[in-house]
Chains A and B, each alone.
Chain A
Amino acid sequence: MRYKINFSNFDRAKELRKRFINKTFWIAVVFSIILGFYGINKFLSLGKEVEKVLGEANELKEKIEKATQERKRILSEKEELTLKNKIRFYEDLQRKKLTQTIFFNILEEKTPNNIKLVSVDVDVMRKSFIINGETLFPEMVGVYLGELQKVEFFKNVTLVKQVMQKGVDEKIVIGNFEIRGEII
């Protein structure tokens, strides 16, 4: 074409640019739609997951509730009282054992070798004790009584009975005694 007078206002470069932008726009729209669908799907699946988790949480809650109910059922007021009584019983038992142990330890510590204990009767419930013994040295009974009376753990320790017996050869004197007291 030698003469290029052209009244057209059509600008191919502009048109191509416009088409490109248009195409890009539609690609973006399609992409957004796909992304949207994906997002919705994801959201729905996430929703399902959340629902599932919530369901599980509810199940757990129900189980806990059931367990609590079960526990309540197991530990009824009566049962709880029994349990408390048991606890108290074992605590008492433990305390008694402790008291007995302390008593015998004190006794072992305070009893001299020349005194032989025939019987020791401790009633932890009544907090009283009775000691029967014998010795070849009767004068030691008073000393022994004095020692027991000094113990802070005991009170009202008294010599209830003391009997002197002569041996076969009439030379040896055996002294039997009974001491009673209370535990604090």
Chain B
Amino acid sequence: MAIDVLIMEKEGFIRTFVEKKQSVRTISGFEKFGYEGKQLFNRKGVELFLDYEYFSSLIDNLQKKVMGNRREAHLILPFSTTWYHTLDVEEVPKNKNEAYEFVLWKISKLIPIPKEQIEIRIDTISLSRELTTLLVAVTYKTFIFDIEKCFREKGIDLTVIMPPTIAILNALEPYLNGDAIILWLKENGFSMIGFLKGIPRYIRELDQTLPLEKLDTELYSFMSAITKSEGISLPERIIFFDELNREELIKFLPPGSTQVKLETLNIKSGLQTPDFEKFVIVVGAAS
């Protein structure tokens, strides 16, 4: 299986091509579209608006330059356009619509966007006799609708639209074998995941520049929120990944923190680019 994967960011998107052969993911292609100082989307209050014309022109370029006649692609949403919740429930309604209404009722008060703007996806991540754990992701309905419409008009079907943190979790599969705090740092923001008892129980995304000096504060406030909520001591393991590969990062992290090594993720690529780390997310979305 080979697929074009697009990483959407504020100023444009990056296109890569991922092929999976015998559990090894091969990445080829690296093209940037946009990044001309214009923004692909804007926040206005509690709403998110796509610059439809600009986005459409970038898709035109994408088709002309690299996609050709291929009609399917995967897209990774920008950071901090999605909220995550885990819900432990005794029973989930079997009917899809009822399940949707049930989850919406449970979490709508926690989501800072109007109810009619809420687009929910549910994934059952743990199933026992007593409890079922649901991972719920929420995003902006019109934002997703506009993105899909824009691609569909160009004849491209987005078969996967995935939030970046879910892609990170999928890419980090070899590391997910015990309680841990996952810290993913990028140039403009981060993603933190509290991975407890095999479940990504807490997820937080931020899309603003975070100086390293402030990182420890953010990290510890996140961790203390977890300990307070769960009534547990902090997980000893911190798994971290820095897209900018900053050596001084380790100083701000607790001793024994584990850095994600690309070679353990079964990724093959001949690409030489400072943006290579982003492809780990790509692999997560395409695996």
Contact = CB atoms under 8 A, between A and B. Distances in A.
Contact of A10 (B119, B135, B158, B163): B158
Interface in A18-73: none
Interface stretch (A1-9, A110-118, A131-139): A1-9
Contact of B148 (A1, A2, A9, A15): A9
Interface stretch (B165-173, B247-255, B262-270): B165-173
A5 B144 contact: no
A15 B157 contact: yes
B169 A7 contact: no
Interface in B170-212: 170, 173, 176, 200
A134 to B, nearest CB: 136
A137 to B, nearest CB: 139
A15 B170 CA distance: 27
B157 A7 contact: no
A8 B159 contact: yes
Contacts of B161: 6-8
B137 A5 contact: yes
Nearest to B152: A10
B159 A7 contact: no
Contacts of A12: 159
Contacts of A7: 77, 119, 121, 137, 139, 144, 161-163
B123 A4 contact: yes
B144 A1 contact: no
Most buried by B among A1, A5, A9, A10: A5
A2 B169 contact: yes
B162 A6 contact: yes
Nearest to B84: A5
B257 interface: no
Contacts of B137: 5, 7
Nearest to B287: A1
Contacts of A2: 169-170, 173, 176
Interface of A: 1-10, 12, 15
17 contacts: A1-B170, A2-B173, A3-B123, A3-B166, A3-B170, A5-B137, A5-B163, A6-B121, A6-B160, A6-B162, A7-B77, A7-B161, A8-B75, A8-B148, A8-B158, A10-B148, A10-B159
Interface of B: 75, 77, 119, 121, 123, 125, 135, 137, 139, 144-145, 148, 157-163, 166, 169-170, 173, 176, 200, 287
Closest A-B pairs by Cβ, 6 of them: A7-B161, A8-B161, A5-B137, A5-B166, A3-B166, A5-B121
